[in-house]
Amino acid sequence: MKRTVYLLLVFTLSLSLLMGCTQVGKTEDVGTEQWVSTGVNIATLSGLPAVAISKLYKESPVGDNSITSYGIEYTRDELYSALIEGDPDIAIVTPDMAARAYNKNGKYKVIGTVGMSSAYLVSSDAKVNSISDLRGKEVSVFSYTDVSQNLSQIALEENGIMRGDIDLKTIDVSSYAGTEQDIIDDEIDEDNFNGFIPEPLLTNVLQNVKNIRIVKSLNDSWMEENQGARGCPEYSLVMKTDFIKANENIVETFTKELSESIDWANKNPDQVVKLLKDKDFLKDEFIDSDTIERSNLKFMPIDKMVVDYNDYYKQIFCLDSVYEDERVPDDSMYYIED
């Protein structure tokens, strides 16, 4: 079986040694200031989350008080297990994974949203110009998670399309026995295709399949049906509660750097692609500047999205929940500064 690749970024973050802070690691004199060299484990999915923190790859210094090294995590389940064990200090995961981990052990807080849904309805049928036009047709849902399938189902139902109204086919990209090109060759008929496809797979499809065009953004559909919503969260930044307590100002410091990294990635897509390719952070995914433009990457602090997250969880976890920990978490999961 094909293994979905996850990227484990491990670097040493230099933190000012302040009164009242827990000292972690060894203290070093740097000029007139003291610093604590603290090993920080950051786990993030490959693909779009890797794009989001690409500036950190680019600018993390080597030597002096910071050391940057990289490792690889394989399979979504292994990353979830790492959260259950409490291994990463900081992670970028899907919102459902964040909720499941919190419901299981309560070790992590959701700090904010790293990006909104990057899935789109695409079609080769000239008569399909909206989601409601899918009635009576074959519809494929490509996803990296079960939740992606649920979001597509929600979008269909909100447009009056029930399961019995279409011939629905689901394709789990993460466990597909082959490459992205194999998926395209096996599952997409350029002359007769309707489907929901997320980035970065969508880029590969649009470049290699004739007659396919974008009909509707799933994020736009979500906002139209959920008035006042800021978007449909696709990736979440989480931090270990003990790590936050031990490192004063770490949330403010890291989220500022992450937000700047996302802004840089959105403004410099060609540089991001080159960086990720040079560092071999892209395994099977094909990413280019168009991918980044369609990816809806933006950092949003959780205090501005609590209502959005609660609505999101209520909708996705009421649909065919597979795991016991797939339930709406309580609000203490969210990191809200006093």
Length of the chain: 338
From the candidate CATH numbers 3.40.190.10, 3.90.1150.10, 1.10.10.10, 3.40.140.10, the one assigned to the domain spanning 5-117+232-333: 3.40.190.10
Q: Which residues of 158-193 are buried (b: 16+ CB within 10 A; e: fewer)?
A: bbebeeeebebebbbbbebeeebeebbeebbeeeeb
* Distance from C-alpha of 24 to C-alpha of 335, rounded to nearest angstrom: 22
CATH of domain 119-225: 3.40.190.10
SS3 state at 195: strand
Task: Give the C-alpha separation, 152 to 139, whole Å.
Answer: 10
pLDDT computed for residue 29 by the predictor: 39
DSSP designation for 65 = T
Q: What is the mean pLDDT of each run of 10 residues along the chain (338 residues)?
A: 41 35 37 44 82 79 37 64 91 92 96 96 97 97 79 93 93 80 91 94 93 96 92 95 91 93 93 81 75 94 96 85 76 91
Residue 185 is predicted with a pLDDT of 92
Q: What is the token pair recorded at 229?
A: 């919503």
Per-domain residue ranges of the chain:
5-117+232-333, 119-225
Using DSSP, state whether 25 is helix, strand or coil: coil
Alpha carbons within 13 angstroms on the beta-carbon side of residue 85 total: 9
* Fold equal for 5-117+232-333 and 119-225: yes
Distance separating alpha carbons of residues 304 and 113, to the nearest angstrom? 10
DSSP, res 45: E
pTM equals: 0.85
Per-residue b or e along 263-291, where b marks 16 or more CB atoms closer than 10 Å to that residue's CB: ebbbebbeebbebbeeeebbbbbbbeeeb
CA 42 to chain centre: 14
Between helix 95-105 and helix 76-85 the angle, nearest 10°, is 40
Burial class of residue 210, CB neighbours in 10 A (0-12, 13-18, 19+): exposed
One-letter amino acid at 8 equals L
Cα–Cα distance for residue pair 61/52, rounded to 1 Å:
18
Q: Give the residue carrying structure tokens 């779009």.
A: 48
pLDDT of residue 282: 66
